[in-house]
Structure formats: C-alpha cells, structure tokens
Structure 1
Amino acid sequence: MPGKKFDAIKPQTARVVSHTEPKRILIANAKGGCGKTTLATNTAAYFASQGAKVVLIDHDPQGSSAQWLDARSQNLPSIYSVAAYRKDDNHTTRSFQLMVPIDTTHIIIDTPAGVSGNVLSDHLRHCDLILMPVVPSVIDIRAATGFIKDVLLSPGFRIKPKPIAVIANRVKRNTLGYNKLEAFLNSLNIPFITTIRDTQQYVRAAEFGMGIFDFSQPNEKDREEWQPLINWLNIQLNNSKNN
C-alpha cells in the first residue's frame, strides 16, 4: 500500500507540520449504512487522481476505509492512511500517531455511525466542509433530521459554521422518499448536491481499493452523477482558501 499508516483511537484532528494547512472534508451521518465509506473513498480517489496529496482518516471501528486502502495498488495515485480507530501503544505519542505528511493538501475523514456529543463537536471544529450521505427512506430521513439538528447546534459548528452538503445514496429520482428528502433540505437551506446510484461499479472498485475515477474507462453515468459534487467541493475549497 502506498504511503505510511498511522494508528490512533481518538477523534482529534490530524497534526500537520506545514505552512499551508490541508483542507479537511468530514463525511458524517449518525445513521449506519448510508454510504459514508463509499463517499469517503471515492472523494479521496478523485482528489488523488487530480494530483492532490490526500490522507484518508478512518475513525469507523469497522475499518472499511483502511481496508480499502490496504487493497489499493501502488500503481494508482497514492493515498495515505490514518487508521484512527485502532488502539495506540505505549511507545508513541498521540500527536505522532495522528501526524500526516507535511505536503498533505486534502484530508478526508470517515466517521463511525452514532457519532454525537463532544466527539461530533470535535470533528466539526476541525473540518472545513461537511458531506452527509443519506439513504432517502422514511427511517433514514428521520435519522438525518435529528443528526442535522445536532450538527447545527453543536458548539464545534456554532463557533465557526462550515458548508454542509447532502448526497442521496441508492435512490431513484422522483420517488416519494427522494421528494421528501429534497423538501426537508430545502427547508433548512442545505444543498442537496446529487444522487449516487447503487451499482456494481462501486462494488468492483471497492474490492481493489479503487474509486470510480481510477478506472481507465469509467462509467459515464457515474461520472455525471459525481460532477455536481466535484463542482461544489472545488467552489467551497477555493472560497475557503481565499478567506
């Protein structure tokens, strides 16, 4: 696997010894099974394909993002791994375990299900953007409603609000669930960026530690679905760089 791994357990921000701070993109939703890892790994793969120096931090005890990186070929654009869910040992400091390369430009943070309270606040305090994947079923929308409220009321967010965007996973447009999700987000002025299908392309990519942007002949429909998110990310990151 390209890059060096760093093990850690607490949801603190990674330490970077650099004059330019990397941009941190938080992937979060308290509900499990909404596609956080798929979104995190493919976002990391996109920025790596553009020549960015990317670190993927995995806080989920399942370690799915870290396992994805374990399967990644050295012939693909390098993505560094911080397995933040693992227990530390007595021979290294917490600061060292969370250290990332000094040339890091983007940090993608994959959070576990059920993240809340001080842990959520800490994540929010140390990120620049928040991406929230949602499966637009009635149960998931209810869970998303509560989580968004937790985010907006969290001290880590209220001290310095960050742009939030929602991505719908595994859904067809113009269904009842889709329309309810869209109406809910519009009521909060939170952008509903795009809808990502549940296809075998993602399954095949995940098996080999790849994102859809790593394929030599990517599926055009998948790229079309990702383009609005890519555009939003680039606009927000450019805005934060100018502030």
Structure 2
Amino acid sequence: MRNFLNNLTIKQKMYSLNIGILIALMFLVGYTIQKVSSIEDEFTNISKIVVNIENEELRQSEKAINNIINDIKFGLPMWVIINIIMSIILFIGIKSVVNNILKTEVGLLEFFKYLNRKSDKISTIDIHTNDELGIMAKAINENMLATKANLESDVSLIDNTVKIADAVKRGHLKSRIKKSSHNPELNRLKDVVNDMLDTVYNNVNSILHILTKYTDYDYKNKVDVSNMSAQMKSLAM
C-alpha cells in the first residue's frame, strides 16, 4: 500500500511537472507571439517611415527633375540661338580666311609669271584687313611693286643701251646711255659703256682733226696715241 502511494505520489509529481512545463511552454509561446507581434508592428512602423522617406525623396527628386526640365526648356532655345550665332560667326571667319589665302595664292602665282616673263603685268593681293594675312599681303604687295619698278627700270636701261649701240654702229659717236636702273651693277655697266664711248669719240676726233690737217698739207701735228692701243693706235699712227 505504501508503495502504491509512493507510486501515486510520483505520478502526481510527474503530472504536476508536466503541467508546469506545459504552462511554461504556453507562457513562452504566448510571450514569443507577443514579441513577434510587437516586432511586426515595429517593422510596420519602420516600413511606413521608410515609405514616407522614399515618398519625400521621390517628391524632392521629382521637384528637382521638374526644375531641371524647366531650366532646360528655358535655356535650350537660348543655347540653340547662341550656337547658331557662333556657327555663323565661325563660318564667316573661316570663309574670310580661306578667301584671303586664295587671293594671296593667286597674287603670288601672277607675280611669278611676271618674273618668268610669262606675263607683262602683276596683280596685287586684294586684302585690306588688319590681321596677320592683311599685314602679310601688304608687305607682299609692297615688295611686288618694288620688284616691278626695278625690273622696269632695268628693261628701260637695256632698251636705251640697245638704241645707243645701234646709233654708234651707224656713226653717231656722241650718243650716250641716259637711262638709269635701281640695279647698281647695271648702272656700273652703263658708266663703263659711256666712258668707252667717250674715249672712242675723243680718239676718232683726234684722228679726224689730224687728217683734216693732212688734207691741208700740214704734217706738223700728230695724234696722241698714249691712250690708244691695238687697231685704234695703228690707225692713228
């Protein structure tokens, strides 16, 4: 009987222990459910906050985008107009430079033809700007005109020399070269030729003078041959 009671007591204890464990588990489950619910509420609140933040950021972004779009709508026509104006200015500037380069090329080619005797005239470069091309064209024009003047003076001197030589050949010993050149070497040649003509003229005059005397049977005078040589000296003697 005592053993039965002891066994019953153990069963009661085990039952009580199980009941306690079950109650503890139920309490734990309830607490857990409560915590989970609380966490879910916290997550819900956080989600709402995040959504509100996202909505606010979205509104701010939309506002910024709208401001940018408005700025673009306002600035785009002005930007297009400025670009068109700049393009026109750039086109005009490039066209002007290209035209001036072509004018310079044409002027130089014409000048080279003149130098090579393929043309009897030159065309100055028609550029009157104050930029580098204009300054260069002005300098080229000045040199072209100076060269033309020099060549014309050379040609004039040579033509005059040819005429004088032809006159002397026909017996006009008093003829002299009158033209001058900008070329010092040609001027020197002119002076030498004129000096030669002076000497020939004086020698011939001396011989003629003595011959005239001889026709009058006056043989006292003789030709001064100190400045003569070769055939001229032989003729005088």
**Quick check: TM above 0.5?**
no
Alignment TM-score, normalising by the size of structure 2: 0.17
Alignment TM-score, normalising by the size of structure 1: 0.17
More helix by share: 2
More strand by share: 1
- RCO higher in structure (CA 8 A, sep ≥6): 1
